[in-house]
Structure 1
Amino acid sequence: MKVLIVDDEPLILNGIVKIVNESMPLGMEVRAASSVPEALDVMKAYLPDVTVTDLHMPEKNGFDLIEEARESGLCDRFIILTGYEYFEYARRALRAGVVDYLMKPVDRDEIAELLKRIAEELPIERDSSGYAIHAQRILAYLDKHYMQDLSLEHLAGLMDLHPHYISRLFKKETGENFVNYLNGLRIREAKKLLNHQQHLTVNAIGQRVGFESNHYFSKVFKKFTGVTPGAYREDRT
C-alpha cells in the first residue's frame, strides 16, 4: 500500500512520516509533500492508495487537495489531520468522504490501526491481472460507444466497479483523466469526419461524436488541435 503524508510544517511532517514508517504494515511505501501543489505533483507519478493530509495550509488547504485529487483520479482515500478540535471541520470532512478524521498530535497506535484496516480493505481487483482486464474492457467499450452520453458513474454501473477505481485506472493506464481521454477520442473521430464527410455540417459532426453543444464541441476541438472545427476543415480543402 502506498501512503502520502501532506503537511506544511516540516517538524510535524517529518514526525508523522517517522511514526508511519515505524508502525506501518509490511509492504507499505511512504512519500511526503509540504504543500497542495507539491502533493498533486507527487500523486501524478506515485498514485497513493491513501493520503494523510493536514487541513490548514497556505494558499490551498486539505479540502482543496481532496477535491482536485479526486477530480483528476489521483487518489480517492483520505485521512484528515488537524489541530482544530471543532465539530464543523469533522462534519465537513465527513461530507468530503474522508476515511477518518484524526487530531494532532498523532497517536501512533491509532494511525497504525487505521492504515492496517485500509490495507485490508483495498479492493481485490487491484491485482495486476484484474487491473489489466478491467482496463481492457473499459477502453474497448469506449472505442465503440464514445458517441454516447458517458460518465464515470455510467461505466461503474456497467463494469460493477467503483467510479473512483475507474478514475484511477484511467490515470494509470492512459496518463489522462476520464474526461480528457473521452474528449480526445471524440476529437480524433471528429477530425476523420471533417476530412472525409464533406456533406456533414460541423454541428452534425459534433453531435455524431458525442457533443450535444456545438459551442462545447468547438471549444474542446480548439483545445486539442489549436483551431476550430471549421478552420480545420478549411485548411484541408
Structure 2
Amino acid sequence: MKILIVDDEPLILKGLVKIVEEVAPSGSDICSAFNAPEALETMKRFMPEVTITDIHMPEKNGFELIREARLEGICERFIILTGYDEFDYVRQALRSGVVDYLLKPLDRKEIAALLSRVNEELPAASDSEYSRHAERLLAYLQMNYMRDLSLDHLADRMGLHPNYISSLFKKETGDTLVNYLNALRIREAQKLLKTQPHSTVCAISRQVGFDTKHYFAKVFKKYTGTTPGAYRENQD
C-alpha cells in the first residue's frame, strides 16, 4: 500500500513517518511532503492509496489539499490528522469524505488498525487482471470521452475502487485521468475542427465533452499551443 504523509513541521513529520513505517501493513511504500503544493506534486508521481495530512498548513490547508487531489484524480482516500479537537473540524472532515479523523499525538494502535482496514479495502489484482482492467478502462474512455466522466463514475462503471483506478491509470499511461482525458478530447476536437468547417467552436467543444467554450479554449491552447479558431484557420 502506498501511503503519503503531509505535515509542515519537520520534526513532527519525521516522527509520523517513523510511526507509520513501524505499524503500516507489510510491504507498504511510504512517502512524505512538507506542505500541500509539495504533496500534490508528490501525488502525481507516487499515486498514494491513502494520504495522512495535517489540517493547519501554510499556503493551502488540508481540506484544500483534499479538494485539489480529488479534482486531479491523484488520491481519493485521506486521513485527517490535527492537534485541534474541535467539532467544526470533525464535521468538515466528514463532509470531505475522509477515511477518519485522528488527533495528535498519534495513537499507534489506532493508526495501525486504520491502515490495516484501508489496506483490506483495496482490491488486489494479478498481472492478467491488471491488464484486462486497463484495456476495459481505456476502451471505455475512447468510446465515452464526450460524457461527464469522473473517477467515481469510472469506479462505479468498472466495479473497481477509485484508488485502484488512479494507480492503474498512472501505471498504464504515465499520466493522470484528467490529463489523459483532456488530451483525448483535444485530439478529437482537432479532427472535428478539420472535418466540420460549418460547426461553431462552441458546438465542437460540447461534442467532445467540455461544458463551456471558454474552458475548452483554455485546455485546447494548453495542449496545442494555439486557439481552436487559429488552429482551424491554419488547416485551410
Same fold (TM > 0.5): yes
Please state how far the C-alpha of 1:62 moved relative to its aligned partner: 0.9
Q: How far off is 1:34 after superposition?
A: 1.1
- Asked whether the equivalents of residues 17 and 30 of structure 1 are also in contact (C-alpha less than 8 Å), the reply is yes
TM-score, length-scaled by structure 2: 0.86
Aligned counterparts of 1:150 and 1:50: Cα–Cα separation in 2: 22
Q: Partners of 1:38 and 1:213 in 2: how far apart?
A: 30
3-state DSSP class of the match of 1:60?
coil
1:199–1:35 CA distance, 2 compared to 1 (3 A): closer
Distance 1:60 1:197, change over 3 A: closer
Aligned 8 A contact 2:25 2:116 in 1? yes
* Alignment deviations for residues 135-190 of structure 1 (CA, whole Å, 9 cap, x no partner): 21121122233344544454344323345544554344334443432332222122
Question: How far apart, in 1, do the equivalents of 2:87 and 2:48 lie?
Answer: 28
3-state SS of paired residue (2:52): strand
Unaligned runs of 5+ in 2: none
Question: In structure 2, how many angstroms separate the alpha carbons of the residues matched to 1:56 and 1:49?
Answer: 22
What is the aligned partner in structure 2 of residue 161 from structure 1? 160
Is 1:3 aligned with 2:3?
yes
> How many pairs are equivalent?
236
Calculate percent identity across the aligned residue pairs. 65
TM-score (norm 1): 0.86
Between structure 1 and structure 2, the one with the greater Rg is: 1
- Contact 2:49/2:75 (CA < 8 Å) preserved in 1? yes
Does residue 86 of structure 2 align to residue 86 of structure 1? yes
Change (3 A) 1:11 1:204: closer
Which residue number corresponds to residue 43 of structure 1? Answer: 43
Q: Deviations over 1:35-75 (max 9, x none)?
A: 11111122111111111111111111111111111111111
User: Aligned Cα RMSD in Å?
Assistant: 2.4
Kept in 2, the 8 Å contact 1:202–1:230? The answer is: yes
Show the counterpart of 1:227.
226
Residue 114 of structure 2: aligned partner: 114
Alignment check: 8 A CA contact 1:73 1:170 kept: no
Letter in 2 for 1:46: F
Cα separation, 1, equivalents of 2:204 and 2:28 = 49
